[in-house]
Structure 1
Amino acid sequence: MPTPDSPDSPDSPAASPDSPSPGRRYAWASRNFRIQTTATVVSGLGNAGAPIATAFAVLGNGGSATEVGYVTAARLVPTVLLLVLGGALADRFPRHRIMVGANLFSGVAQAVLAALVLAGNVQLWQLLVLSAAGGAGYALYSPASGGMIMQAVPQEYAAKAFSVFRMGLNASQIGGAALGGALTTAVGPGWVLALDALCFLIAASLRFLLEPETAPAPGGSSMLRDLHEGWREFVSRRWLWGIVLQFSVLVACTGAVESVYGPVVAEERLGGAGSWGLAMAAFGTGLVAAGVLMARWRPRRLLLVGNWGVFLFGVPALALAANAPLSVLTAAMFLSGVGVTVFGVNWMVALQQEIPEEAFSRIVAYDELGSYSLSPVGTALAGPAAAALGLNGALWACAALCLLLSAAVLVDPQVRRLSRRSTTDATEVARERATAP
């Protein structure tokens, strides 16, 4: 039976104009939420297959695991360098316009890359430049997207909304990874990259229909001051920067496994791109399955429960290092997907609950900046590490780091104790923020 703080209770205080009325089960899903979720699903279909296609485009052109790592790093470097700029822009200007422009830019870059791959004999420098262009587009898009989706739902429905959003995104990863792997095997990587370009253009058209929900930040402050204020918000919360520091190494390890080691192992032992596409689809299935769980489960200790999911991040590396058969690898990828969603939903709820709305995009930018900061290094060194330690040795090292960092972050009491607020508490905090000088 629902209590006044339950998301299904008609007596819950309204946190925004999008709060549902009795009898309207999905009234919390505002127009912007529906459009953004649909556009994310569309772009996710292409994005899930593009890394598979890019890796096998390099390998098919005679490249090595080291060159696969360089191409992946080329995408990550501009992402890291431009994320903070993207966050500041998204807190000053209409977020939907930034997303449209970023999607169009990324779509054109992928279209050019697809044309070059289809023409044959694409050069490494071309792959590097166009991968970097895609990373720049993502750096501008992601902070605006994070701010828009957090702004589009009432706080008392945050867990349900973020779970639905992630289920849509993750379902597209299932289809996109399976389709990307199958198409790469059947017709070559160029057509997968062309599909990704088309998906970007469709997503841009959908996001053009989004409406800004708040006015842009006043233009009186400078961009540098905005960045400084966002940094103060970021460093004032130990739980926030502690987990971001943890993820800087975790993302580097998992990125090396998924972008470099996984495709190489699939090519050498498991039958090629189709097998790796199946493994990535299992990862997506785990993401969706956990999304169904998180839409109903409201754990009180947000970050403690979320971090238990992080322990599963290193399971695919363990399976690959142990030379496990494809069936075991797909199970490991499924568990990893479950862990990503369990963490991700709780993390998004914590951010919406604890971060002032006007600083959302800058905090998202600092979050992603820290989380991705070591990824270019990790992917660039993936090949040399495999040469020095052996492929299995590098995989064992990645798995050990994931497990060690998952345990280490729980030393911080702020991570263990940060709790979900009741609807009444959340309303009071929102009122205090709105009236603060």
Structure 2
Amino acid sequence: MAGFAAFRLLWAGQALALVGREMTWFALTLFAYQKTGLATTLSLLGFFHFLPLILLSPLAGALVDRYPRKWAMLASDLAGGVATGALLLLALLGRLEVWHLYLASAFTGALSSLHWPALSAALSALLDKKDYARASGMMSLAESLAGVGAPVLAAALLKPLGLQGIFALDLLGTATAVATLLLVPIPNPKPQAQEKTSLLGEALFGFRFILQRPPLLGLQLMFFGVNFLTTLAATVMPAMVLAKTGLSESALALVRSASGLGGVAGGLFLSLWGGPKRRVHGVFLGMAFSSLALALMGAVEGPWAWAALAFLEAFFIPLLNGSNQAIWQAKVPLEVQGKVFAARRMIAWLATPLAMLLSGPLADRVFGPRWGQGEGIALMLLLFGGLGVFWGLSGYLFRAVREAETLLPDAKAD
């Protein structure tokens, strides 16, 4: 089994695992907010996951290029299973607390740092260049399918099964991902002929590679900015929904599922279309339209209106990420993609934990006290989402970013 057939099997396993993880995340969001009633609790849950993920990314990238990429992906998937198993045990004993969720989030975040660079680099070697954008669209589709089904399933199953049942289903999805990963041959390119360097030196290689190529650096700074702005709003969006609906599980499930459905539609659209000929258009316009929908969520009322805009916000994300991924896969040599992609992610995603750390206190101590919890967070969505629109369109002002595809040579022939 090879090529796109192998990718489809790998995709199926990862998709099922994503459903389990999204169900767990939905259940933990409700559990944490019901325990404290604070938006800060939700932002810290995300912060403790993303901080180790981002900080360890350069080291993870070096490990991915040094050792078989299948091992890295297995380690990440198994770590998620260990964390979920620990939460299941605590729930069965009746001793699960919010701080346990922070620890589990940090542990899974640390090991998750291996998964993305390993998967991205493995797919570059597994697939032909013409299939990059389509495969990226399918991966976005898997994430979005999980986003559609998981909230509905979790909301429906929480009462009859409790947290324990949700955790058990998550473990089943992890087992499926591990089984399919073991069946798929993951190519490992031959290492470059060069002097041996330390693991730290290899970890820093990705940053040097990007700094020497201003178009790639510019693209990641674009993502840094838009991630910071939209995360400030999106992190506390569930708290807005819960605050305005009297802690309605069904309202939050509707909005989350609509977001997932939008991602499904966007992923299918990208998978069938393949993306714009000039990928940067997909990046800039994807940022602008997605941010616009997020901003408008703060200007409307009611679960169905929020759900419609959540659909549109998520619809453009596969276009945005798929276009960017296709640029990097085409411009970065296969044998160093693990290191470079890890550095790339750290540059773009470092904004995420910073924004998460700020968003909760901004909602609870600045916007909430002045305008009320629900209305205050709505204003945050309108403000930071609106700034995201301008940030996305600003990419057209800089030639190094606007013409990234022509300024850099392809690393892999057509």
Once the two structures are superposed, residues 380-417 of structure 1 have per-residue CA deviations (whole angstroms, 9 ceiling, x without a partner) of: 22221112123233223321331221122222223323
1:408 is aligned, of 394, 404, 408, to 394
Q: Distance in 2 between matches of 1:252 and 1:121?
A: 35
Given candidates 375, 380, 389, the residue that maps to 2:367 is 389
Stretch moving more, 147-156 or 222-231:
222-231
- State, as a whole percentage, how many aligned pairs show the same letter: 22
Consecutive unaligned residues in structure 1, runs of 5 or more: 1-16, 19-27, 433-437
Alpha-carbon offset, residue 368 of structure 1? 1.6
Q: Which residue of 2 aligns with 1:192?
A: 166
Q: What TM-score, normalized by structure 1, do the two folds share?
A: 0.83
CA distance in 1, matches of 2:160, 2:298: 28
Name 2:412's counterpart in structure 1.
430
Within the candidate set 218, 223, 228, 1:247 is matched to: 223
Cα distance in 2 for residues equivalent to 1:312 and 1:115 = 43
Change (3 A) 1:65 1:188: farther
What code does the residue aligned with 1:176 have? A
1:113 aligns with 2:87: yes
Contact 1:57 1:117 in 2 (8 A): no
**Equivalent residue, structure 2, for 1:398:** 384
Q: For residue 372 of structure 2, what is the aligned residue in structure 1?
A: none
Match of 1:173 among 132, 147, 160: 147
Using a 3 Å threshold, how does the CA distance of structure 1 residues 431 and 246 change in structure 2: closer, same or farther? closer
Q: Which residue identity is paired with 1:35?
A: L
TM-score, normalised via structure 2 length: 0.88
Residue of structure 2 in register with 1:54 after alignment = 28
Q: Kindly tell me: are residues 374 and 164 of structure 1, through their superposed partners in 2, closer, same or farther at Cα, counting changes over 3 Å?
A: closer
- Cα distance, 1:120–1:267 mapped onto 2, change above 3 Å: farther
Distance in 1 separating the partners of 2:238 and 2:258: 15
After alignment, is 270-279 or 53-62 more displaced? 270-279
Q: CA-to-partner distance for each residue in 1:164-188, whole Å, 9 max, x for gaps? A: 3332332233222332343346644
SS where residue 213 of structure 1 aligns? coil
Q: Is the 8 A contact 2:133 2:322 kept in 1?
A: yes
Provide the C-alpha distance between the structure 1 equivalents of 2:362 and 2:253, rounded to a whole number of angstroms: 24
1:156-305 alignment to 2 at 5 Å?
A: 156-184=130-158, 187-215=161-189, 217=191, 220-259=196-235, 261-270=236-245, 272-294=248-270, 295-305=272-282
Q: How many residues align?
A: 400
Give the superposition deviation at 1:284. 1.8
- In 2, Cα distance between equivalents of 1:51 and 1:252: 21
Q: For 1:341, which of 299, 303, 318 is the aligned residue?
A: 318
8 Å contact from structure 1 (residues 266, 273) kept in 2: no
Look up the match of 2:373.
none
* 1:48 positional shift: 2.1
How big is the shift at 1:418? 3.6
SS state at 2:282 partner: helix
AA aligned opposite 1:220: K
Say which SS state the counterpart of residue 430 (structure 1) adopts. Answer: coil
SS of corresponding position for 1:91? helix
The residue that corresponds to 1:147 in the other structure is 121
Say which structure is richer in helix. Answer: 2
User: What per-residue deviation string (whole Å, max 9, x for no partner) do you get for residues 225-258 of structure 1?
Assistant: 3223322221223232223223224324433444
The match for 1:74 among 39, 48, 53 is 48
Residue 87 (structure 1) shift: 0.8
Amino acid across the alignment from 2:262: G
Note if contact 1:84-1:365 (Cα within 8 Å) is conserved in structure 2: yes
Cα deviation digits, residues 234-289 of structure 1 (max 9, x gap): 12232322232232243244334444x22212212235232222212212222221
Separation in structure 1 between the aligned mates of residue 169 and residue 337 of structure 2, nearest angstrom? 32
- Bigger Cα displacement from structure 2, 97-106 vs 56-65: 56-65
Q: Does structure 1 conserve the Cα–Cα contact (< 8 Å) formed by 2:233 and 2:380?
A: no
Aligned counterpart, 2:101: 127
Query: In structure 2, how many angstroms separate the alpha carbons of the residues matched to 1:251 and 1:142?
Result: 17
Does the Cα contact within 8 Å between 1:61 and 1:122 map onto a contact in 2? no
Structure 2, gaps ≥5 residues long:
369-375
Q: Equivalent residue of 1:214, what SS?
A: coil
Structure 1 pair 249–190 and aligned structure 2 pair: CA distance change class (3 A)? farther
Q: Which residue, 56, 60, 78 being the options, matches 1:86?
A: 60
In structure 2, the residue corresponding to 1:220 is in which secondary structure?
A: coil
Q: Which deviations, in whole Å up to 9, do the C-alpha atoms of 1:147-168 show, x marking residues without a partner?
A: 1122211012323333233323
Task: Pick closer, same or farther for the CA change 1:296–1:304 going to 2, 3 Å.
Answer: closer
- Give the 3-state SS of the residue equivalent to 1:107 in structure 2: helix
Q: State whether structure 2 residue 4 is matched by structure 1 residue 29.
A: yes
Distance 1:118 1:399, change over 3 A: farther
